[in-house]
Structure 1
Amino acid sequence: MNLLFATDVLVPDGDEARERAQDELSRAEYQAATPTWFDRLAADVAEWFFGLFRGDGAGAVAPVAVTIIVIIIVAALLVALAIWGRPRASRSVRRRAELLGEQDDRTAAQLRAEAERRAKAHDWDGAVVLRFRALARSLIERDVIEPAPGATAQAIAREASVAFPGFGDRLHSAATAFDAVRYLDRPSDATAYRVLAETDDDVRATTPTDAATPAVPA
């Protein structure tokens, strides 16, 4: 009798067991594990998407849907390529890049203006250095050359000569004038600056094609 009485006390009836289960499930750790509406939505979307690649229950719809999705993606990529073309570093980034041993974010136009100011002040050394920098910067801005980091003046002249074959000798002379002042400490003069400036102006006015064969100034 005692054992039966103890058993009746320890074992809850149906209603009490249900209440205890509800109380247990209402605890925070159980609520935190319950899927949210976003979890259920994400699961439904994933199930729909992966169902496109299965033929179960979809008949001929699944292959058609997959084909349409692939066509849309490929078309979007082609349109993006047609509009924006090959990805390039922005011009502002290229202007900030190291050029001929210095960090200088000025545009070609700004460098030319400063070179002219130096020339008017008879600072021929500074004018020659700045004008060749302007020439190199202009070629970069026009996407004619893409010099490697640390490229020398002669390397830039050789790369530019590929796009302007008729200017090969003049570009080489311009790079030589730059090197003479910048690295050999040789003084420049008005004639050297005038020749370099004319080369810069002529290159700027010429389309980079193999047909470009400008006249060499006297």
Structure 2
Amino acid sequence: MVLTLLFEPLDPDAPEARRWLEDELAKPEYRSAQPTPFDLAMQQVRDWFVSLFEGAVGIPAPLLVLLLVIAVVLVVLIGLLVFGLPRLRRRQRPPAPLFDDDDRRDLTALRAAAAAAAESGDWPLAIEERYRAIVRGAVDRDLVQVHPGTTARGVAVAASTPFPDHAESLRSAASEFDAVRYLGRSGSRARYEELVQLDLALAAATPADAGRAAMAAPR
């Protein structure tokens, strides 16, 4: 009698069978097996590729290859438009103007101008241009931010955070820049060479805390 009850076949009516099925499908293992939005999107892309070649039995193989290449190029172009151009725009952003004279020259141009001034013996201009090169190098590396009203000393203070070992040299270079630009000092070859060495040392140095955001130079 007991065995008969244990093995008696189940014969539910329609509503009860529906309820059993709904309870079974509601279990977590069934929900986790459902396709994700990403899966559905990839399925649509696959179906689109397949639709390109439906009924293509009589199309020559070179034409099929061409169609496939065109489809791949379209996908790549869409990817560039969506993801690539913003990064490209960030890389091509215009250089920030230095100090209050809207100087937007790049690092190479500033170093070349400083070398040309030194070649002609114009030490005030050579010192000024080399300090601008030092500032441009820090700005280009996203270590210092400059704004309208930023002073040479403000840049030196901000740059001392990523380059603590060169803090004193940075302050001295800023003072020399102010002296030749605003106080009419004559400068010298020795002072210019000190700025050249500082520029090269900073370019080769690893910032003390490269993971931090750029320091805003005080005005």
TM-score after normalising by structure 2: 0.54
Preserved contact between residue 99 and residue 150 of structure 1 (Cα < 8 Å)? no
Q: Could you say which residue in structure 2 is the equivalent of 1:173? A: 172
Q: Could you say which residue in structure 1 is the equivalent of 2:134? A: 135
1:105, CA displacement in angstroms? 2.3
Query: 1:154–1:92: structure 2 CA closer, same or farther, 3 Å change rule?
Result: farther
1:149, CA displacement in angstroms? 2.3
Question: What residue identity is the alignment partner of 2:98?
Answer: L
Question: What residue identity is the alignment partner of 1:139?
Answer: A
User: Secondary structure of the residue that 1:99 maps to in structure 2?
Assistant: coil
Question: What residue identity is the alignment partner of 2:207?
Answer: P
Preserved contact between residue 91 and residue 141 of structure 1 (Cα < 8 Å)? no
Q: Which runs of 5+ in 1 are unaligned?
A: 1-60, 73-82, 212-218
Query: 1:137–1:190: structure 2 CA closer, same or farther, 3 Å change rule?
Result: same
| CA offset digits 1:82-112 (Å, max 9, x no partner) | x88x9898455441x3212211221111100
**Mapping for residues 148-159 of structure 1, pairs under 5 Å:** 148-159=147-158
TM-score after normalising by structure 1: 0.55
Preserved contact between residue 99 and residue 147 of structure 2 (Cα < 8 Å)? no
Q: Could you say which residue in structure 2 is the equivalent of 1:52? A: none
Q: Could you say which residue in structure 2 is the equivalent of 1:203? A: 202
Higher-RCO chain (CA-CA 8 Å, sequence separation at least 6): 2
Question: What residue identity is the alignment partner of 2:130?
Answer: R
Preserved contact between residue 125 and residue 181 of structure 1 (Cα < 8 Å)? yes
The percentage of aligned residue pairs carrying the same residue is: 37
Q: Which runs of 5+ in 2 are unaligned?
A: 1-30, 42-82, 211-219
Query: 1:113–1:171: structure 2 CA closer, same or farther, 3 Å change rule?
Result: same
User: Secondary structure of the residue that 2:136 maps to in structure 1?
Assistant: helix
When Rg is computed on C-alpha atoms for both structures, the one with the higher figure is 1
Q: Which aligned runs of 4 or more in structure 1 are off by greater than 6 angstroms?
A: 86-89
Q: Could you say which residue in structure 2 is the equivalent of 1:42? A: none
Alignment root-mean-square deviation, CA: 3.3
